[in-house]
Amino acid sequence: MAKEQTNATDVSVKKISIRSATGGFSLVDSFLELSVFENIFRPCMSASLVLSDSQNIPYKLPIIGEETVDIDIMVKGFEGTKDEKVFSIKPPPFHVNSISSRDFTKPKAQIFTLDLISEQYMSSLHSKVSKSYKNQKISSIVEDIYRTYIDDETGLLFIESTDRNETVIIPNLNPFDSIKWLTKRTISGDSDSVNYLFFETMQGTSFMSLDALAQVEPICTFIQKQRVDDPAGVENMSANIFKINSFTFLNQFDKSKNIKRGVYSSKLITHDIVRKKIVQSEYNGFNEWFGFSHCGMFPTQSNADIETKSASVNRTSFGPGNSENAFHITNEKALGDMTDSKVEFYPKHYQMYSSNRGDYYDNNVESWKLRRNGHVGVYDGIAILLEISGNSMLRVGHTVTLILPSPQTTDKDNASDDINDKFLSGTYMITAIQHIFSKIKPTEQKVTYNMKIEVVKDGLEDMVETRESRKED
């Protein structure tokens, strides 16, 4: 008998089971499709499980929102190897949140979807943080909240140390909201960046900055090419697992959106009611760009000088000029100087948290408020949705290299023509993943593993030159 071919997408489902206080049973035979979602901008994972049911499981168990779903899947081609753990898909237990899309396909059969949510989310819903922290690093505060209110002492927490000590009072917020509030004011102890995120993956929970994640070397390279087989017609797994099946552009840039959110420039006005003092601070995103790590060597704006690490002052602003016509469109003022496009107000209090009259507390809002808008906003740039074969090593926060073809017609007589797109190819960060496990046929047990991943880059591999700068060369 010929050996069954193992493809890059083949997996072996060891467990998909549902349990409650009244009992439980396996869903391996009943499931049609399982999707597990990771997102770097969300604090927890989620999942959806599509079931074909002829036993009326929602009634017999019953399913009433008090159940837990356990999942254990192994990539079939690597089962039994020394690297078995690496290729295991075993997310933390999920809680059943709701039943959706329930349809009766036959008189004695139905298809419905279980909407699943991470245990961490449920823990956060049931808890409130009413606590003060005095002279502690925010990374220590986040760890304390996680261990006290969210974790069951089994979760892994990857945490990046933060700068300076803070004194804060958390006024009866749930743990996720507390951490979200803290991330907005967090400054890295290593790079002075202000783009921290709190998110969950199948590997654990992370409290890290985008700057630190961007410094890590890409985990792999994906290329747009045809399926690779050996001469016998058997699929080359090592090659096809890194092949882009299809890609769709989600975003390239949105200038008006970036202006409104303060990515390019902004202004902060603070008011100290005790000292009756008003202070204005300004932010120029172009002057900050070269101080931090990015997915790409060059900014997405024109004429940036990478050697001197400076941005051109002649950024096109399309703002009001100085002519007699107040609405005259001009380039006289740089985009990074148009600080009135985004103005924020923030209170300060001279003696906040003070025990003595002479004590001074400063929330240092000038060092993080505007900068966070810019540092996180630049990642809302070039975004691509990739459809690839399942790869259990990938997590949100990883960087990958994409090699994308140039759409221009190649002249065989001109060797200088670029085969790959210099702007779009390069390093990207994975911001969202949908792990998709599906049966080829409902009546068969063969299961395939595919992924949809959203990747984003905030920089380019080649300098953007204007026509004028090209003429000068």
Residues 6+ apart with CB under 8 A from 141: 133, 166, 168, 182
Does residue 49 sit in helix, strand or coil? strand
Q: What is the 3-state secondary structure (H, E, C) of 154-199?
A: CCCEEECCECCEEEEEEEEECHHHHHHHHHCCCCECCCCCCCEEEE
CB atoms within 10 A of CB 88: 16
Residue 202 near residue 395, CB atoms below 8 Å: yes
The backbone region for 335, taken as left when phi is positive above 0, alpha when psi lies in -120 to 50, beta otherwise, is: alpha
Closest CA to 239 of 218, 223, 252: 223
Q: How would you label 321-353 residue by residue, b for 16+ Cβ within 10 Å and e otherwise?
A: beeeeeeeeeeebbbbbbbebbebeeebeeebe
Residue 366 near residue 228, CB atoms below 8 Å: no
CATH class of 10-121+216-252+381-472: mainly beta
Does residue 336 sit in helix, strand or coil? helix
Q: Per-residue confidence of the chain (473 residues) as pLDDT tens digits?
A: 344 545 667 888 999 999 988 888 899 989 999 999 999 999 999 999 999 988 888 888 888 899 999 999 988 655 444 444 556 788 989 999 999 888 887 778 889 999 999 989 999 999 999 999 988 999 999 999 999 999 867 678 899 999 888 888 898 999 999 999 999 999 998 888 899 999 999 889 999 999 999 999 999 999 876 444 455 544 444 556 688 999 999 988 888 888 899 988 899 999 988 788 899 999 988 888 878 888 887 777 665 555 555 554 445 556 655 544 444 444 556 777 788 889 999 888 766 656 665 555 667 888 899 999 988 988 888 899 999 998 888 999 999 999 888 877 666 555 545 677 878 889 999 999 999 999 987 777 789 999 999 999 988 877 766 544 444 55
Phi/psi of residue 411, each to 5°? -90, 115
Q: Based on C-alpha coordinates, what's the Rg of the chain?
A: 26
Distances (CA, A) of 323 to 70, 79, 225, 317, 337: 68, 72, 54, 15, 18
Distances (CA, A) of 23 to 20, 51, 62: 5, 18, 9
Q: Looking at residue 287, what is its pLDDT? A: 81
Task: Detail the DSSP E strand segments found in 174-323.
Answer: 196-201, 204-209, 221-223, 244-251, 265-272, 277-284, 319-320
Q: Looking at residue 88, what is its pLDDT? A: 77
Q: Provide the residue ranges of all domains of the chain, joining segments of one domain with +.
A: 10-121+216-252+381-472, 127-204, 264-351
CB atoms within 10 A of CB 185: 19
Q: What is the pTM of this model?
A: 0.85
Residue-wise DSSP of 53-85 = ESS-HHHHTT-SS--EEEEEEEEGGGTTSTTTT
Q: Looking at residue 129, what is its pLDDT? A: 95
Q: Looking at residue 59, what is its pLDDT? A: 85
Distance, CA of 195 to CA of 215 (rounded, Å): 14
Q: How many CA atoms lie within 13 A of 300 on its CB side?
A: 21
